[in-house]
Structure 1
Amino acid sequence: MSAIKTPSAAVLLRPEELERYERGGGARTTPLVSPPIGARSFITGITEFDPGVAIPFHSHNCEESVVLLEGTAVMDIDGQEHPLKPLDTTFIPANVVHRFRNVSNDSKMKILWIYASPDATRTLQATGETRPVSAEHEQNR
């Protein structure tokens, strides 16, 4: 069973049993806490990056926190590179352009992300395209 609901409406999620979605370019996302299980004020998930993979520069319409769970990463923000080690945690205000990248040539990188809104969006800096974060979990099934 991938989600265990309790009588109080609490939910236990086991990421290894949940569906992962290919985001393309060597990144995969596993949604965790979301409106379908009862979340009303935030969403969370795990994204895994293959060696050398970077997501494009982007921003969100709400605050975001990212925790590096595994691997070797860099956060690019404000024109600076910030190396991350496991359990380093970031806070990114709404509408701030940033990206995360796996700087390893042979190991995967895994992050836990938390958005302060279930209606979080991602706007790509290069194109200006804005899509709901949840749309990434509906494509490439």
Structure 2
Amino acid sequence: MTMKTPSGAALLKPETLLTHERGGGARTTPLVSRDLGTTSFITGYTSFDPGVEIPFHSHNCQESVVLMEGDAILDIDGLEYQLKPHDVTFIPPNVNHRFRNLSKTNPMKILWIYATPEATRTLTATGQTNPVSAEHGKH
């Protein structure tokens, strides 16, 4: 459920929002998007099943990620960084990275923020680029 105020502000209840399967044990719930009128950023949650890792990729804009639940590894610059809940990352544009759920038994959840509604994801292995919003059924 999304409630809009007279000024255009919004209150979102994530448990009532549509979640999209990304495949491979990852699911995304868009939060702030163009639908709310944003012109400068988008946000959402991605949940990872136990042991899931997403492929190496990069974005055309700055990204910040907050680990909300679980234990994660950030692979970036050829190094591994262990993350605990509430750790925050900043990733510049065009930097290859990925997140992995360190646990084999518990889920992991991140809050992501992209610095533009036109954010793209380029898969490192294939070079394929798609809008992040394509994962949400919206382009």
Query: Structures share a fold, TM > 0.5?
Result: yes
Query: Corresponding residue for 1:61?
Result: 60
Q: Give distance in 2, aligned partners of 1:14 and 1:90.
A: 24
Q: Secondary structure at the match of 2:65?
A: strand
Question: Could you list the runs of 4 or more consecutive aligned residues of structure 1 that deviate by over 3 angstroms after TM superposition?
Answer: none
Query: Corresponding residue for 1:103?
Result: 102
Q: Secondary structure at the match of 2:47?
A: strand
Aligned identity (percent) is 70
Query: Corresponding residue for 1:22?
Result: 21
Q: Give distance in 1, aligned partners of 2:48 and 2:25.
A: 6
Determine whether 1:88 maps to 2:91: no
Query: Corresponding residue for 1:119?
Result: 118
Letter in 1 for 2:68: L
Superposed CA deviations along residues 35-60 of structure 1, whole A, max 9, x for unmatched, are: 11111100000000000000000000
Q: Give distance in 2, aligned partners of 1:105 and 1:57.
A: 20
Task: List runs of 5+ in structure 1 lacking aligned partners.
Answer: none
Q: Secondary structure at the match of 1:118?
A: coil
Query: Corresponding residue for 2:49?
Result: 50
Query: Corresponding residue for 1:71?
Result: 70
The CA deviation at 1:129 is: 0.1
| Count of residues in correspondence between the two structures | 138
Q: Give distance in 2, aligned partners of 1:24 and 1:83.
A: 24
Q: Give distance in 2, aligned partners of 1:134 and 1:40.
A: 14
CA-based RMSD of the aligned residues comes to: 0.8
The CA deviation at 1:112 is: 0.1
Letter in 2 for 1:87: H
Q: Give distance in 2, aligned partners of 1:126 and 1:30.
A: 25
Superposed CA deviations along residues 3-28 of structure 1, whole A, max 9, x for unmatched, are: 00000000000100100000000000
Query: Corresponding residue for 1:133?
Result: 132
Normalised TM-score (structure 2): 0.98
The CA deviation at 1:121 is: 0.1
Normalised TM-score (structure 1): 0.97
Query: Corresponding residue for 1:4?
Result: 3
